[in-house]
Amino acid sequence: MKDKSPSGDTITFLGTGGARIMVANQVLASGGLWLNLGGTEILVDPGPGCIVQSTKRKLRAEKLSAIILSHRHLDHSADVNIMIEAMTQGGFKPRGRLFVPTDALETEPVIFSYLKSYLEGIEVLKEGKSYSIGNISFTTPLRHIHPVETYGMLFKTAEHTFSYITDSRYFDSLCHHYGGELLIINVVFIEPIFSVDHLSLPDAERIIAELKPKVAILTHFGTSMWRAKPWEAAQRLSQETGVRVLAARDGMRFDLSQLDNP
Ligand SMILES: [Zn+2]
């Protein structure tokens, strides 16, 4: 029998709320994803409250190797500056790299210029490029359809592969570029709203059915998804797609060793 001991790859959901109304009300928290991949710690999309949610859970910013923004919208970037300051201990211990789309740095930057010298480096995300952080690599396979420059990610660790489909309007390429054993997907709406570039539950179902990961985790819920009880929606998707679908909860820590013993 395979060893069920923790793999050393975990993902903590610092928040599961998404889009403007839910984030403004904080019915669900909005702090992003804290990855611990074989000891390499990476913060993805530090939305409002990230510093509060992470310190409350004893996650220590000074251990972070990198911060990644999928895009510049407030619910993904609001705490990026304080998290850079915390990662570098107020700038006294420069460290860590920042990965962001070009438009997070230009025109109306979301990163304060005085913090840039605290970092080891800044890398600009581009469609189809690969990046490495220690022994972790990730790619940004395609630019999403969203009002600002936006990229999802496909991560590879020593033991696992997983994807993060961040905010986007649905388009078929989403079903072809995000492989891996685990899929994390931002599902804002219960039904599609044509005028808004966000994924809905039927979109998520289509993507999960095509990609067939071992596990899919729904997160980034807007008000309509929250009212529909995401855990019930996840159960329905599990039955319909044959994939184990979970609804993330605020503070949930997912151990990727679960992928080793389906
Ligand atoms: Zn967005």
Task: Show the 3-state SS of 8-48.
Answer: CEEEEECCCECCHHHHHHCCCCCCCEEEEECCEEEEECCCC
Alpha-carbon distance of 163 to 124, in angstroms, equals: 19
Check residue 74 and give its pLDDT.
Answer: 95
Cα 146 to averaged position of ligand 1 atoms, centre (Å): 7
Cα 257 to averaged position of ligand 1 atoms, centre (Å): 30
Tokens describing residue 164: 């993060």
Cα 49 to averaged position of ligand 1 atoms, centre (Å): 16
Alpha-carbon distance of 226 to 223, in angstroms, equals: 5
Please name the helix (run of DSSP H) or strand (run of DSSP E) that holds residue 99, with its range, or none: strand 97-101
Cα 248 to averaged position of ligand 1 atoms, centre (Å): 18
What are 118-171's pLDDT values in tens digits?
999 999 999 999 999 999 999 999 999 999 999 999 999 999 999 999 999 999
Cα 71 to averaged position of ligand 1 atoms, centre (Å): 7
Cα 5 to averaged position of ligand 1 atoms, centre (Å): 36
Check residue 1 and give its pLDDT.
Answer: 40
Cα 130 to averaged position of ligand 1 atoms, centre (Å): 22
- Global pTM reads 0.96
Residue ranges of the chain with pLDDT lower than 70?
1-7, 262
